[in-house]
Chains A and B, each alone.
Chain A
Amino acid sequence: MMDFLVRLEQTGFGTWVREAPTLWAYPTVLFLHTVGLGFLVGINVAIDLRLLGVARKLPLAPFERLFPIMWAGFWINALSGAALILADATTKLTNPVFYVKMLFVMLGVVNMGWLKRRLFRDPASLESWPATPQARFVAVTSLVIWIGATTAGRLMGYLGPKSGLD
């Protein structure tokens, strides 16, 4: 298993991300991962807060147009995340916190699918106040999941094995 992780790290791309002496390698990948987080989690949290009663006069239906931006954030992070893993496979793939984060991200994606396919397909209950129990459940779940994913991501740098990469 460790051989496989070493081989991942030693691939040309993994080595480039980790070692290239340019801001366009590791630093830029980290930056992209942060921007993706901002748009994916940020917009989802805005929808959650609205479902829970913030800015109640704001119609929810138009937020559907922002889903492509959330998905763009997701894919930016899937790709930049894969690059970060490749660059540091022996450390990150042996860190249990990484798998906790992946669990949260998977739950977050499932929850977003629910939000889109159930709630946004039913405009009447989407805009109703007080929010339906289902809407409240999806919003609270989403907040918990994204707080969990972000926290796990941050803590990967502090808990478990360390490589010296920030």
Chain B
Amino acid sequence: MLIPVRCFTCGSLVGDKYEDFKARVETGEDPSKVLDSLGVKRYCCRRMLLSAFEIVDYEIPYYEAIERRRKELLGS
């Protein structure tokens, strides 16, 4: 759903670095260099960030739609 808090293998904290990582990769930076600069050195932790996918972002629009519909019904 969301980025895991810790690395599955070694237990090091990775959750707090994901947003920074994602934003910088989207601007076109090389993911491996971004990971190096964030201090993620082992490959177990690196794959956590590289392969993460936040499916909650796909769920939230549905809840937003429910909320809009609720307001419409209340308004009418």
Question: Do A and B associate with each other?
Answer: no
